[in-house]
Each structure stands twice: as C-alpha cells, then as structure tokens.
Structure 1
Amino acid sequence: MTHSDTMLSPRLERLLHNGRQHLLRGGLKGIEKESLRIGKDGMIAQTAHPRALGSALTHPYITTDYSEALIELITPPFAEIGDTIDYLSDLHRFVYDHLGDEILLGASMPCGIDGDESIPIATYGSSNIGRMKHVYRRGLWHRYGRTMQSIAGIHFNYSAPTGLWPALKQLENSEASLDAFTADGYFGLIRNFQRIGWIILYLFGASPAICKSFFKSRPSLMSQFETFDQGTLYHPYATSLRMSDIGYKSKNQANLNIDYNSLPGYVSSLHKAITTPYPEYEKIGVKLNGEYQQLNSNLLQIENEFYSTMRPKQIAMSGEKPTMALKRRGLRYIEMRSLDLDVFKTVGIDASRGRFIEALLLNCLLHDSPPNTPEDYAIYNANQLAVANNGRKPGLELNKSGKPIALQDWASEILDTMEPVCTVLDEGLADKPYSAALKEQRQVVQNPDLTPSARMLNTMSGNEQPFACFALQSSNEHARYFKNHRLDDTCNREFLELAERSLNKQTEIESSDQLSFDDFLANYFAQCDDIASPT
C-alpha cells in the first residue's frame, strides 16, 4: 500500500496487517429500478401491468411499485457490478418487447400526470396478500397523495462478503455472537452513511427540475420554486429534488426518532411507530362504507411506509413482517435508496457508478461509527436538504460535527478516505476500475457542471426544452436502443417461463386462501405482539 496510515481505518489496517484484505472483495450488489410507463400521448399509462410480463404479485424480478404504471425491475445480487447492470439491461429488453407503444420514463420526477386521479394505484389480484398490498397503497394516497408516490428512484442493495464478518470478529476479539456482530457492523455502516450520504445527492442527483403538472394536486408548493420556463419549475443549484422535502417528507415522520444505534433499538422504535395511533389518520378512518381506506390509522401502516435513505434488510417469508424477519434472522444486506435515475444512462445507472457506491459503502463499514443522537439526525437531515436543494451553489457550507465546512472540501476528504479501499478492490484487476471510478468522481467534486443535475439543466437550456420534453425525448432514445438490441432466444425463453410461472403462482395463492381479509389482517398485525416481546 502506498497510502499513509492516516488514511486507513483501524479495521482496514487490521485486515492488511493480517493479509486478509481480499475478504473485502466480492460483496453482492443488486439493483431495484422504478420507471413510470408513459403512453404514446406522453401521459402516464392507464393500461394494466402487461400480462406478458407476469404477475406483479409473484414475479421475482418484474413488479410494480405504488402505481399500476410504475414498473419496478429487480436484479438478483451479483458479485460483479457489471453482471448486475447486464441483468438490468436484459430486463429492460424483455419489458420493451411487451410494452407496445408505451415507453419507460428515464427520469425520476414524473411528467405526463394530471393530478392525483390520473395515477392508477397498483392492483395485485384477489388474494389476501394482494389485497393488502393494494389497501396499503390506498392508505398512502390518503396520507400523502398519489403524485408524490409516482416519483421513481434506484435502490442499491449491498451485502458484504460473508467471510468478512467472522474475520473481523476474530481480529477485534469480539465476544458477541456472529449474528450480533454482523448486525452491529451493518448499523455502523448505516450511521456513517447517514453522516455523509449527502455526497450521493451531489454526485448523482438528477432531479433539479419539475413539471408544473406535478403540483396540480398541491399548488401551494409551487411558490417555493423558480420558473425555468412555461412548463418547468426548478432550483438553479438543485441536485435531487426527489430527495428534498417536496414529496416523501411528512411532519409525522420527521418526529419518529427511529433508532439506528442497534438492531434491537431499530426494531423496537419502528414497531412503536407502527402501533401508535395518529389522530390525523384516525380521521380518515380504516373503513368507509365497508371498503378499506388504509390498513390501520397508526403513524405508519407497515414498515415500508417509513422513508429513509438506507434500510437494514432481511428477506421476509410470505406474510412475515420485515421487522419480525430482522428480529428472527438478523441483517442480510442494506438497501441504499437515495439514487435518482440518470436520464443520460439507458438503465439509469452504470457500472462505474456502482463501483464507486460499493467502495463508499465498504468505507462506511470499515470506519468507526459512534452512536447517534436525535440532534445528530437533525443535522444529517439538514445537510441532505441543503445539498438536494442547493448542492451546486458556490460556497455552500454544510455542518460537520457542529462546525461549518465547504461542501467541496468535505467531499474531497471523503474521497481521500476511499482511496485505500479502492486500491484493495482493484487488486488483480489490470484496469483498476474502482480507482478509475473514484478519479471520475473527483472531477465532479471539483467541477459542479459535470454533475447530472447541471448537465440536465444545461441541455434543457441549450435546446430550449421544458423538463417534460427533455425527459420524453431522452426516454424515447432509450426505447429505440432497447428495441434495436433484442434479447437472445435463450434469455427470452427464460423470462417468458418466469412470467408464466409467476402467473400460475398467483392463481395458486388466490385459490388457497382460507381466511377472510379481516382475519388475514388481524393475523398479520398479531406479529406485532411477538416483536414487542423479548427474544
């Protein structure tokens, strides 16, 4: 290693000293990407999720998010990010074979919507679990409106190599169980990411402008923005308005104080939010004329309603609550949720970006991560909002440990600490792709005009295009690319078989339901009693 010891975290030093740095390589990376289906009229699609794509309820890789028109593509996890991107590209090719005249919007912020009622809520069939997913989305509509739910993003899933945890446990002489040690390590990663996660918004934010149609259901918000042109509002120095407070933030969630200092604390605090009644939602009612309006009237209906930049994850069994899965089997991976779709990339992300993110997450795992206080979270949130709204503003300062620091100075410090990690990840690779990805982002730190957000605004300005025209033109270019690069026959057959199996599985679930929907919900939420009890 050619780096000074001051750049090394204690964990990385121990791994290097014992010749175990190779255990950092080969962590699994998966991607979940949302895309709004747009009809040939340029408006959000009103058609059902194409049956040829399979069942949105049971397909492992092709589903829907909030809206029937919001497709979500999910890759399996791969050790090589290039394989993850390739699989995501294959999913796009298969989808485009069955979209007809529709296209996938390549931008995060929606266009082609005409108020809340234009956004169809996703449906999942007649089974109890399918009805629950639909009712949950109805609850989101009543609580936050549908328009905000049509915003699309990319979630980056990462799990550290399994051999890393026992090695670190041994090197640190930890007496904790391996599961507890692993959970503590992941929560340390999450806390460190919360401290510096604003850098993702600066480097990769790609939502600096919004169609005026976005505000039809909430016109009062328009006064917060400047006018870019007749159809577009924006902040001149914005990076990621998707991650600002125009959408996912809500007053009740701002005061939840979810605990990220330990797995038990996280499960307990999230459980409290799911079981605490909220007067404003009680006014909505759970049922109206016998029809469910929401799953319950608590602060959160279920765990997924809590919006955060990163989630600790465990694969849940059918009908199992996510917090119960975490309590029973610990953490399996983390889900980073702060990536915008990059309209300049055909699938919204590329391998270089994925390598940078992997190195950043590993760096967060390797550095010390003291517990956080509610005051700390308030600072992190303020930093995120500052970067989301004004990240490219010359001289912008953030709050680092209670002291002001220029964004570019702090960003350079973060990238400096990533160098040793990138060097380790590059070992044995002739082209040194991780160091190359880091070098690429150093240039973006020094020159804000290279950020996707600046490039979007410069392109829109140069072409005299409102955001909607720019987004639709770019998305049509993506569509032409995928239609001109078709799947090979073997891969196409595999996806067709997956679609057919998913449809059959949905039919099996619907035919096997024995409980009424009321009883099904009662049983589902009865798990809360088990979560509240000691392990």
Structure 2
Amino acid sequence: MMTKFENKILNSFNKLIDRLSDSEGRQALKGMQRGIEREALRIDDSGNLATDAHPKMLGSALTHSRITTDYSESLLEFITPVFTDIDRLLEDLTYTHAFTVQNLPQQGLWPVSMPCYVGDVSDIPIADYGSSNTGKMKRLYRKGLTYRYGAQMQIISGVHFNFSVSDSLLDRLYQLSDQAVSKTDFISESYLGLIRNYRRMVWVLPYLFGASPALCRSFIKDQQTDIQFEEMGKGTLYLPYATSLRMSDLGYTNKEQDRLSISYNSLELYLEGMQKAINMPSANFELIGVKVDGEFRQLNANVLQIENEFYSPIRAKRVAQDGEKPSEALARAGVEYIEVRALDVNPFSEVGIEASQVRFLDLFLLYCLLSDSPDSDETQETEITSNLNLVILEGRKPGLKLSCNGEEITLADWMTQMFNTMGTIATLLDDKDNHGYAQTLEKWLAAVENPDLTLSGQIIKQLQDSQIDHGCWVKALAKKYHRVLNETELPEDVLLRYQVAAKESLAKQLQMEQDSTQSFESFLEDYFKEDTSSIEASKLAVSS
C-alpha cells in the first residue's frame, strides 16, 4: 500500500517525466556523468595488512590523479576520471587495478569493506605524503583521526560514486520551472532536492548492496558494542539479517557529530552549518590536546578538523580551484555534482563494483532528482536515521517495517513502489537494441522478493554453505582477483600513461617540497585564518 507521502511524490514525478519523454528529453536524460573512487587495503601473501610504504612504482600518493592513499599507507584509493559511458568507466577502473596489482610484488588487495586481520592497531601505518606543508597537513589530519576514533575504524574501505546530470537536462528542467531564481541557484536547488530524497531513501543502498553482514572477530578487539553478534566458525561474527556493518556504529561513524544539525534545505543553510561545524569546539577532542610536548596531535580541537571529516552518506560537491576549500567552491559557483558514500565494496567484483550497480544508481539518483523533494525537519531527520539503522542491522528480516513520513510501510512494499516508478525512467533510457536498465531493475527486484539475492544475503549463504570463516573466504577471493588482474593485459598506450603519471607525480611532489619554505605552524595559522574569514564571504556569495 502506498503512503500519502509517496503518492504525492509519485504524482509530481509523473507530471515531470511526461514532459521529458520526447526524443530531446530522453537524450538529455542519457547524458549522465559518473566517476568512481574505490578504496582497498594492501595485504601480504598471508592476508595480513601490508605495513610497508606506498610503492614508488605507483607514484606519489600526494599528487597522482588516479592512485592515492586514504587514511593509511596500506589503504589505496583508485580514482577514475569522469565518464558518460559505463563500460569505459569500469574499464578505466579495471586498468588502474591491474596496473597496481602488477606492481605489487607478493602483495594483493583485500576485496571487502571490513579490514583483514590486524594484530596490533599500532602496526597500522598512517599515510605519509612527504615533507611539503600540504603533505604534512594531510598526514596530521589523519593522525588526528587516529587520536579521535582509533586507527581500526579508519581502514574500513568503501566505494564512492560521483554523479551529475547533463547540462541539457538541467536546461530543460529550468525551462519547465517557474524560473524564480537564477540558473545557477536552480541547479544547486535541484541537486539539494536530490540529496534530500536520497537521504530519505538511502536505506535502499545497504539493503541491495550492503556487503558487510559479517566480520573477523579481531576487528572488535576491546571495542564496546551493544550489537548482539552470533558466531560462525572459529573467528567470524555476524548478524543473521544484517546488510552493512560498515555503516553501523562499529563502522565509519562519528558520535561527536550527532550534535551537528547541517541542513540540506538550501545551499546557504548547508554552508552555514558546515562553517559552524568546523569552528565548533569539542570538549572531548580538547582533552587530546592539539600540540603536546612540542608535537602536533591534531589540526585543532573542533568537532571537525576540516570539512572532509564530516561523515555523511552523500555530499554536495564542486571541483575546487587550487587552494580552494570544498565550501568555498560551492559558495563560488554552486553544486556541480553529488558524491554517494553509502556503498560497501562488492566482493563479487574484482574492482569492487559492477555495471548493474551503476545502472541502478543512475535510476535511483534520477528518481531522487525528478521527484518532488520537500524540506526536511527534525522529525524527518529522526525517521531517516531510524530507517537506515534498521536496514543496516536487520534489513533482510522478513516483514521488516519502516516509517515513511510517519506512516508505517514494509520495506518490500516501499521498494516495489520505487521499482515501479524507476521503471518509467528505465523505459526512457533504454532503446530497442539495449534493455540494460530494464534488466537491472529485473535483477534487483528479485532481491526485493528474495533477500538471499542481495549482496549481504549471498555472502551469508556462501559462508554458511561452505562452513568457512569470513577471513578465509575473503583471502580466497583476494587470490582469485589477484590472478585475474595480474593476467589483465594493459594496452601499450595505457601502460605508458600509468608509468608516465607515476614519474610525473613523484617529480611534482619533490617540487612541492622544495617550494615549501614557510614554517608548518605558520602554514596552519594561515589556512585556518582563511577558513574563518571565508564564512561571511560564503554567505554573501550564495545569497547574491
């Protein structure tokens, strides 16, 4: 049964989609742009965390555009350029994986989100970006994360999906609007509307694509948790209906941020909330100290050291200019694209994500963009959090009920309604020779009807059927993918491109280090002085 809220959204969606159903509208819908960022831990031949430095053959983690590191020297991050074609996007990601594996002697990549066995957290090496002030700041930020949340949490891996629609679609939507605001403001409002709808329905992603229902007991160690785990084998902890423990309180969360109330109801409110967050003192982080016995422990003692510390399942983004902070870029020219951050690494793909997931994300995000998106209030924020937590911990539970704008609805009914609506978009994106989007919906609708077909359901079934520990299962996958990627032949021009990029990135890092003549302490003072002074400038830029 459809709730009143969903019925209202459907009515506005249908009116808009009718106006996009001509040939020009369909072409505008197809012009989506996508990029992927995939994180993966380096492991040794035994499946343990690799603790050596970032390999020089891969270039500089500070300046390389495709291969970098996240929190740790061991946590690689692969970044694609922007593509309109899904096959080319995944081909590029595969080439980056292959080049990396072929330059990792006796090492491989851990193919799931939750970390491999770590004996002592002190063995987790914080990423090193060299001696330039920029490199030192990146390392100190990560050192601060270690003091704040512990190193174990920081080596959880995920996949980020960057998405934008075509200029022609935005032009068409603007023409169909009342044009009460400028085109730039309309684009920002449209993406923020997408974000609000995404947050209401984000639980869909862990339900279908959550791939961390189980983990190695070593990850828990001395952590306090209220989660009542069940045990399997010698060292596997799991929940029977869990989807994404990565997104639970055990994973990539930040209790200190619970008191932040960052609004997505307008760009001005979002920027205002973000500026407050990066200037809000934290009593808990103050206890850590910023500089103790002459050594920095964190960038500052605020709730957020910098904007990147804001943990959210989606972000509004714009490509920043040199030296520009994320909020400054948004204030300068508005929202350019969004970054989906609620995806676990898919263990059934050697690159962590596969084509049907990308197509589903296309459909889901277009549905969020084209549907009416009322402002969110405190009551709805509570509902969003509750629904997400329910699906994370027991999403595959038969008959699970969620709340939609205060009305109770089963997860299966809500998803079925969404799939029916997304089918309208699939019809416009497909053509007579290609039914990829319709086939995607058919594939994942089966997972709505049978939760064992979700990624988390498949994982639990394989573990139970084989009676193998989670760690052993993952190690076998790692070896399989290592063989596949090691045997992937890189075209000569592609191989040369990666080799040149590695050398040029190392040279660029060296130049940055030679150019860093300012003291680090002075560098930090200037950085955060600019941050404070940009608050009013950001407000003026958005409101003008």
Sort the TM-score into its range (normalised by shorter chain).
Answer: over 0.9
Q: 1:505 aligns with which of 478, 488, 508?
A: 508
Is the 1:9–1:366 contact (alpha carbons within 8 Å) kept by the matching residues of 2? Answer: no
Which residues of 2 match residues 337-416 of structure 1 at below 5 A?
337-416=341-420
Partner in structure 2 of residue 481 of structure 1: 484
**1:335 aligned onto 2:339:** yes
Which of 58, 67, 71 in structure 1 is aligned with 2:63? 58
Greater mean alpha carbon deviation, residues 259-268 or residues 20-29: 20-29
Q: Please list the CA deviations of residues 387-420 of structure 1 after superposition, one character each: whole Å capped at 9, or x if unmatched.
A: 1110001111111111211111111111111011
Match of 1:74 among 76, 79, 89: 79
Corresponding residue number in structure 2 for 1:198:
203
Bigger mean CA deviation after superposition, 416-425 or 5-14: 5-14
* Pair 1:169-2:170 in alignment: no
Superposed, 1:384-533 pairs within 5 Å as: 384-427=388-431, 430-533=433-536
Moved more, 105-114 or 19-28: 19-28
Tell me which amino acid in the other structure corresponds to 1:263. L
Aligned to 1:30: 35
For normalisation by structure 2, the TM-score amounts to 0.95
SS in structure 2 at match of 1:252: helix
Which of the numbers 118, 121, 127 marks the counterpart of 2:132? 127
For 1:243-258, list aligned pairs within 5 A.
243-258=247-262
Which position in structure 1 is the counterpart of 2:4?
none
Q: CA deviation at 1:464?
A: 1.4
Structure 1 contact 244–385 (Cα < 8 Å) conserved: yes
Residues 147 and 217 in structure 1, CA contact (< 8 A), matched pair in contact too: no
Point out the more displaced range, 154-163 or 517-526.
Answer: 517-526
Name the aligned partner's letter for residue 75 of structure 1: T
Deviation string 1:157-199 (CA, Å, 9 cap, x unpaired) is 0011112212211111313111110000000000000011101
Task: State the one-letter code of the partner of 1:113.
Answer: V
Distance 2:509 2:306 in 1: 22
Change beyond 3 A, Cα 1:321–1:101: same
* Whole-Å separation in 2 of the counterparts to 1:312 and 1:11: 23
Other-structure match for 2:316: 312
Equivalent pair of 2:115/2:157 in contact (CA under 8 Å): yes
Q: CA deviation at 1:328?
A: 1.0
Asked if 1:83 is matched to 2:94, the reply is no
Q: Distance in 1 between matches of 2:105 and 2:142?
A: 27
Three-state SS of the structure 1 residue aligned to 2:335 is coil
In the other structure, the counterpart of 2:239 is 235
Equivalent of 1:277 in 264, 278, 281: 281
Aligned equivalents of 2:435, 2:54: Cα separation in 1: 42
Single out whichever of 30-39 and 313-322 deviates more from structure 2.
313-322
Q: Which moved more, 1:52-61 or 1:226-235?
A: 226-235
C-alpha deviation, 1:282, in angstroms: 0.7
Deviation of the 1:522 alpha carbon:
1.5
Aligned counterparts of 2:355 and 2:251: Cα–Cα separation in 1: 29
CA distance change for structure 1 residues 416 and 277 in 2, over 3 Å: closer, same or farther?
same
Partner amino acid for 1:50? Answer: P
Contact 2:21 2:428 in 1 (8 A): no
Partner of 1:287: 291
1 CA distance for matches of 2:502 and 2:255?
40
Alpha-carbon offset, residue 278 of structure 1 = 0.7
CA contact (8 A) 2:13 2:372 kept: no
Q: Structure 2: give runs of 5+ residues left out of the alignment.
A: 1-9
Match in the other structure for 1:40: 45
Cα distance in 1, alignment partners of residues 321 and 296 from structure 2: 25
Q: Which amino acid aligns with 2:480?
A: E
Report deviation, 1:306: 0.8
Name which of structure 1's ranges 515-524 and 12-21 shifts more when overlaid on structure 2: 12-21
Separation in 1, partners of 2:482, 2:250: 29
Q: Say which SS state the counterpart of residue 221 (structure 1) adopts.
A: coil
Residue among 4, 16, 23 paired with 2:21: 16
8 Å CA contact 2:210, 2:344 repeated in 1: yes
1:243/1:388 contact within 8 Å kept:
yes
1:44 shift after superposition: 0.4
Deviation, structure 1 residue 80 = 1.0
Number of residue pairs aligned between Structure 1 and Structure 2: 529
Distance 1:319 1:289, change over 3 A: farther
User: For 1:283 and 1:367, how far apart are their aligned partners in 2?
Assistant: 46
1:254–1:477 distance in 2 versus 1, CA, 3 Å:
same
C-alpha separation in 1, matches of 2:445 and 2:402: 19
Counterpart CA distance in 1 for 2:57 and 2:117 is 24
Contact 1:115 1:217 in 2 (8 A): no
For 1:104 and 1:319, the matched residues in 2 are separated by 32
* Structure 1 length-normalised TM: 0.96
Cα displacement (A) at 1:105: 0.4
Query: For 1:227, what is the secondary structure of its paired residue?
Result: strand
Structure-2 separation of matches of 1:526 and 1:9: 49
1:104-143 Cα offsets, whole Å, 9 max, x none, are 0000111121242121111100011111110000111111
1:264 equivalent in alignment to 2:264: no
Deviates more, 1:170-179 or 1:65-74: 170-179
Question: What is the alpha-carbon distance in structure 2 between the residues aligned to residue 7 and residue 348 of structure 1?
Answer: 35
> What is the CA–CA distance in structure 1 between the aligned matches of 2:288 and 2:11, rounded to whole Å?
56
**Distance across 1 between alignment mates of 2:54 and 2:162:** 25
CA-CA distance at 1:18 after TM superposition:
9.0
- Give 1:187's aligned residue: 192
Structure 1 residues 526 and 231 mapped into 2: Cα distance closer, same or farther (>3 Å)?
same
Secondary structure of 1:103's counterpart equals strand
Give the aligned residue type for 1:235.
L
* Higher alpha-carbon deviation: 336-345 or 429-438: 429-438
Gaps of 5+ in 1: none
* Letter in structure 2 aligned against 1:409: D
- Within the candidate set 146, 149, 153, 2:154 is matched to 149
Deviations, residues 466-486 of structure 1 (Å, cap 9, x unaligned): 111011111110001111222
Rounded Cα–Cα distance in structure 2 between residues aligned with 1:342 and 1:152: 11
For 1:384, the aligned partner's letter is L
1:323 and 2:330 equivalent?
no
The verdict on how the C-alpha distance between 1:297 and 1:341 changes in structure 2, with shifts beyond 3 A counting, is same
Contact 1:114 1:216 survives alignment (8 Å): no
CA-atom RMSD in angstroms: 1.5
Whole-Å Cα distance in 1 between the matches of residues 37 and 26 of structure 2?
A: 29
